[in-house]
């Protein structure tokens, strides 16, 4: 019996020890779970496992959460526990920076090459343009050059003309020559001088009527007037106009032919008023035409017109190009590229600059989430960068995205936009603790106290976006726009555009780029160039900085066709916390 009692006592002791161990383990497990959730609580109480966590909690409680309310007029600068910032500066916590997609880059010295693109029209060189006109009346007899577009050489016969006036003048000239010969032996010097004057006068009249020296000599040798005069081409070139028809009566001043030398051509192009300073005489240019894909024609700027088109605010420039093989036809359209002088200077990305109307601003990244506005003076611009003349130095860290939100927070454009957004996010409920940012992923915000308002925020509801697939028929082409992933989320997204022509064949020689932005005041455009991958499919990667409504403008340029511009608007889901 004693043995049975001993066994029962041992079992009871083991059970008690096991119960005690379970209680202790449960206590520590609960304590650990509460510690993980510590950064998301809104109350001042809570279990504190260590003096360090208790101290962190007291630091966060010192923040003036009333200053973060949407209706408040105070900025984050007034929050206790935040670093002091100078006037106009803004301090953004790490979670907020990740949410709005703040990115920075250095101002650096780089090669800046400004490229001016425009469209020009091919024309003939006016200095090589010739008209064939008559100075006497008569009738066209025989025509040798009888078609437009035919090349002619200088001195080549064009047509013959019968003119009574010309016939009479030839007879007068022959008579003057005969009289002069008879008076050669005359002792009267005055008579001989008068005879010579008559010969010179008649000869000059024939020359002014466009008889060549050879024709006059032939007339003297023949001694008889020629009823028909042969008219020769005064210059080499291409016949642009022909009015000479057999039997046609013509009067003095009638233009019977127009001939242009097309060995060199002019291209007239219009540039914007803001680009005039970058264009100089003898500047190199290149021209591409839809008729000759892949071929570039070099030229130079020969003249800058002194007048401005007041309606279009453009200035016309004239380019001169050699025309080997007469490939460039008057009337053709060409894409003109003007290369300005290449300089090495201080540049920043175009996206970093905010145009306020009176001045240009950039936001300088001072580290630890602090940003300060700085006024800059800008110079030349390229496709992606802009020159900084004053306000920055090499190595300065500047904001390149989401700077419009920083501008709103610093009260330079809209004093309340940033505060309203932060109030909706509910920073007072977040207790933004950088040490716990990584533990917030995957948490059900709608079920947590103080986080209910976040579910309605643009970009916070990951289920608000839908799969993007849209097909449109524009200008005879079928455009199919899709994204990867099909339901776009904040972050890198692959945009795809499939282009099919009227015959149902893929278009493989187009130039495609995407311009994307959010339809919000102050939002700057971003650009991504698409590349052709296969069978009319063009792909380009973009960065959606936050969830919400985005507008993507697709630009498609097909050689020889007008550009196609289409806008696609869709929702982007938030990328998660």
- Hey, what domains does the chain have and what are their CATH numbers? 103-113+345-417 (2.40.420.20), 116-125+262-341 (2.40.30.170), 130-160+230-261 (2.40.50.100), 164-226 (no CATH), 469-572 (2.60.40.3340)
Which tens digits make up the pLDDT trace of 17-46?
565 555 555 544 444 444 444 344 334 343
Q: Please choose, from the candidates 288, 300, 281, 290, the residue with its C-alpha nearest in 3D space to the C-alpha of residue 117.
A: 288
Give the pLDDT confidence score for residue 67 in this predicted structure.
Answer: 37
**Is the pLDDT at 304 greater than 80, yes or no?**
yes
pTM for this entry: 0.46
Q: Is it the case that residue 267 has pLDDT exceeding 60?
A: yes
Phi, psi of 385 (to 5 degrees): -120, 165
Q: How many CB atoms lie within 10 A of CB 353?
A: 20
Q: Which residues of 258-288 are buried (b: 16+ CB within 10 A; e: fewer)?
A: bbbbbeebbbebbbeeebeebbeeebebbbb
Spatial distance between the Cα atoms of 335 and 45, rounded to a whole number of angstroms: 71
Min mean pLDDT across 89-93, 255-259, 317-321, 365-369 is at 89-93
Q: Which whole-number Å values give the CA distances from 241 to 30, 137, 367, 465, in the listed order?
A: 98, 20, 73, 64
Look at residue 176 in the predicted model and tell me its pLDDT: 85
Per residue, the 3-state secondary structure of 397-458, as one string, reads EEEEECHHHHHHHCCCCCCCHHHHHHHHHCHHHHCCCHHHHHHCCCCCHHHCCCCHHHHHCC
Q: What is the pLDDT of residues 35-80, one digit of tens each?
A: 444 344 334 343 334 334 434 444 443 444 333 333 333 444 444 4
Query: Which residues does residue 49 pair with via DSSP β-bridges, in sequence order?
Result: none
Residue-level pLDDT at 175: 86
Phi, psi values for residue 189, rounded to 5°: -70, -35
Dist CA 168 CA 171 (whole Å): 5
Chain center to CA of 235:
44
pLDDT at 111 over 90: no
Higher pLDDT, 160 or 458: 160
Both tokens assigned to 322:
């050699």
Helix axes 189-208, 213-222, angle to 10 degrees: 130
Residue 465 in this model has a pLDDT that exceeds 70: no
pLDDT tens digits, one per residue of 211-234: 888 888 888 888 888 888 889 999
Beta bridge partners of 138: 250
Radius of gyration of the chain, Cα coordinates, nearest whole angstrom: 43
């Amino acid at each position: 019996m004693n043995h049975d009692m001993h066994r029962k006592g041992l079992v009871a002791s083991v059970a008690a020890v096991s119960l005690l161990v379970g209680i202790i383990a449960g206590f520590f497990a609960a304590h650990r779970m509460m510690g993980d959730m510590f950064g998301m609580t809104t109350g001042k109480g809570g279990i504190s496992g260590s003096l360090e966590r208790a101290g962190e909690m007291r630091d966060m409680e010192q923040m003036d959460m009333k200053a973060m309310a949407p209706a408040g007029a105070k900025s984050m600068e007034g929050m206790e526990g935040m670093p002091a910032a100078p006037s106009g500066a803004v301090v953004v916590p790490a979670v907020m920076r990740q949410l709005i997609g703040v990115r920075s880059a250095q101002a650096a010295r780089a090669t800046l090459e400004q490229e001016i693109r425009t469209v020009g029209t091919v024309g003939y060189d006016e200095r090589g343009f010739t008209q064939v006109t008559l100075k006497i009346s008569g009738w066209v007899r025989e025509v040798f050059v009888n078609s437009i577009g035919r090349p002619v050489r200088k001195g080549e016969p064009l047509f013959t003309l019968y003119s009574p006036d010309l016939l009479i003048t030839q007879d007068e000239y022959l008579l003057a020559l005969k009289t002069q010969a008879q008076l050669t032996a005359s002792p009267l010097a005055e008579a001989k001088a008068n005879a010579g004057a008559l010969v010179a006068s008649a000869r000059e009249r024939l020359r002014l009527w466009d008889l060549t020296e050879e024709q006059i000599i032939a007339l003297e040798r023949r001694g008889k007037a020629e009823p028909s005069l042969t008219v020769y081409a005064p210059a080499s070139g291409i016949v642009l106009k022909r009015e000479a028809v057999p039997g046609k009566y013509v009067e003095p001043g009638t233009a019977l032919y127009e001939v242009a030398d097309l060995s060199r051509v002019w291209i007239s192009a219009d540039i914007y008023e803001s680009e005039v300073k970058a264009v100089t005489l003898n500047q190199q240019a290149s021209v591409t035409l839809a008729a000759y894909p892949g071929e570039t024609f070099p030229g130079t700027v020969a003249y800058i017109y002194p007048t401005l088109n007041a309606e279009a605010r453009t200035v016309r420039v004239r380019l001169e190009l050699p025309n080997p093989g007469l490939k460039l036809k008057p009337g053709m359209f060409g894409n003109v590229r003007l290369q300005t002088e290449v300089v090495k200077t201080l540049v920043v990305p175009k996206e970093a600059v905010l145009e306020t109307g009176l001045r240009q601003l950039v936001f300088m990244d001072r580290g630890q989430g602090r940003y300060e506005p700085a006024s800059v003076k800008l110079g030349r611009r390229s496709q992606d960068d802009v020159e900084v003349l004053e306000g920055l130095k090499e190595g300065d860290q500047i904001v390149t995205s989401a700077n419009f939100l920083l501008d709103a927070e610093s009260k330079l454009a809209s004093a309340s936009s940033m505060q309203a957004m932060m109030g909706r996010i509910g920073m007072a409920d977040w207790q933004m603790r950088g040490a716990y940012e990584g533990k917030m992923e995957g948490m059900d915000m709608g079920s947590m106290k103080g986080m209910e308002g976040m579910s309605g925020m643009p970009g916070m509801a990951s289920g608000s976006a839908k799969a993007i697939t849209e097909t449109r028929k524009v200008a005879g082409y079928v455009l199919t726009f899709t994204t990867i992933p099909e339901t776009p989320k904040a972050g890198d997204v692959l945009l795809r555009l499939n282009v099919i022509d009227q015959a149902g064949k893929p278009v493989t020689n187009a130039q495609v780029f995407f311009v994307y932005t959010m339809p919000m005041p102050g939002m700057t455009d971003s650009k991504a160039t698409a590349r052709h991958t296969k069978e009319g499919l063009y792909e380009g990667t973009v960065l959606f900085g936050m969830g919400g409504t985005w507008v993507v403008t697709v630009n498609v340029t097909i050689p020889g066709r007008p550009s196609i511009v289409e806008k696609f608007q869709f929702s982007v889901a938030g990328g998660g916390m």
